[in-house]
């Protein structure tokens, strides 16, 4: 027990039993204080708290923060992608995104695959020229609000991430491997029929093509590749054309997937 002078004074004025109880409690408290001090003396308390979180939670926070400036998806949407992709590690197959834009959510899945320590593949399909024209089934086109085509305006050529920009960010900045991450440039109707056999089994299929035709083409070409228990994330289920394409496709299936729909956030995901 510290404070020797205080100990001497208390011993003189307190009954022996009372002093002994006080002494033992003080020693226990002092031990707790010392252990805590050793842990937090060299770092701010908030950093000590973060370091105490489970390793997987720290990794999740780091990955989500890395991509937020490189995506048009909300933080909640990025976290959903992370959580689903992490859960899908229990299954055998690859990750696929159709509608990459600036590469943020694809990067989330690719980094999860990299941390897994296996050769899990990440396929990234996009025109890398922005959105195509919408059809009559997509409703009224929203007005263009920004000159910069990387903006999320729903118009032809917008939601743009160029091939060069995404390539540099993935392979130079994030240092992902070209052996496991494949960027496929072109319109879905041209690239998916050619690549679906190469892609093979899919554990997470993320669709972010906005429009009816884009969503329909992705489902028609890749849904059968999704393994049992695999996930299909529909980022644009709140958009008229995308929702119509998904609903029509599910209606034709003999075995319906389970749908989890977040009305507030506008996206949904399917579990096959």
pLDDT tens-digit readout, 149-196: 676 767 775 667 889 999 999 999 999 999 999 999 999 999 999 999
Domain with residues 54-271, CATH architecture: 3-Layer(aba) Sandwich (3.40)
65-76 burial string, b = 16+ CB within 10 Å, else e?
ebbeebbbbeee
Domain positions in the chain: 4-49, 54-271
pLDDT computed for residue 32 by the predictor: 47
Residue of 155, 217, 153, 212 lying closest to 186 (CA atoms) = 217
Q: Does residue 47 have a pLDDT over 60?
A: no
For residue 18, report the phi and psi dihedrals to the nearest 5 degrees. Answer: -65, -45
Q: Does residue 53 have a pLDDT over 80?
A: no
What does the pLDDT average to over 90-115? Answer: 96
Q: Are 187 and 132 in contact (CB under 8 A)?
A: yes
Tell me, yes or no, if the pTM score tops 0.85: no
Question: Which residues are CB-contacts of 45 (< 8 A; sequence separation ≥ 6)?
Answer: none
Question: What is d(CA 94, CA 205) in angstroms, rounded to the nearest whole number?
Answer: 9
Find the DSSP H helices in the chain: 4-13, 16-40, 45-52, 55-67, 75-87, 104-116, 163-168, 188-199, 212-222, 240-252
pLDDT computed for residue 21 by the predictor: 63
pLDDT computed for residue 155 by the predictor: 72
Question: What is d(CA 151, CA 144) in angstroms, rounded to the nearest whole number?
Answer: 9
């Amino acid at each position: 027990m510290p404070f020797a002078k205080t100990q001497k004074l208390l011993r003189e004025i307190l009954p022996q039993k009372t002093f002994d109880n006080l002494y033992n409690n003080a020693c226990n408290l002092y031990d707790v204080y010392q252990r805590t001090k050793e842990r937090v003396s060299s770092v701010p308390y908030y950093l000590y708290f973060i370091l105490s979180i489970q390793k997987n939670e720290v990794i999740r926070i780091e990955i989500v923060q890395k991509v937020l400036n490189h995506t048009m998806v909300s933080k909640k949407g990025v976290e959903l992608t992370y959580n689903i992709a992490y859960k899908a590690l229990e299954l055998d197959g690859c990750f696929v995104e159709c509608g990459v834009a600036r590469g943020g959510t694809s990067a989330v899945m690719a980094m999860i695959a990299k941390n897994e320590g296996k050769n899990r593949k990440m396929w990234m399909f996009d025109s890398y020229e922005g959105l195509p024209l919408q059809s009559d089934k997509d409703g009224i086109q929203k007005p263009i609000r920004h000159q910069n085509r990387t903006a999320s305006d729903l118009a032809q050529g917008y939601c743009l991430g160029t091939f060069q920009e995404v390539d540099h960010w993935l392979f130079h900045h994030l240092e992902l491997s070209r052996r496991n991450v494949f960027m496929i440039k072109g319109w879905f109707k041209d690239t998916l029929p050619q690549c679906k056999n190469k892609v093979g089994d899919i554990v997470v299929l993320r669709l972010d093509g906005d429009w009816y035709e884009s969503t329909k083409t992705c489902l028609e070409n890749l849904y059968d590749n999704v393994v049992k228990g695999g996930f299909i994330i529909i980022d644009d289920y709140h958009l008229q054309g995308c929702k119509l394409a998904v609903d029509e496709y599910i209606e034709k299936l003999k075995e319906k997937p389970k749908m989890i729909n977040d009305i507030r956030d506008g996206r949904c995901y399917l579990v096959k």
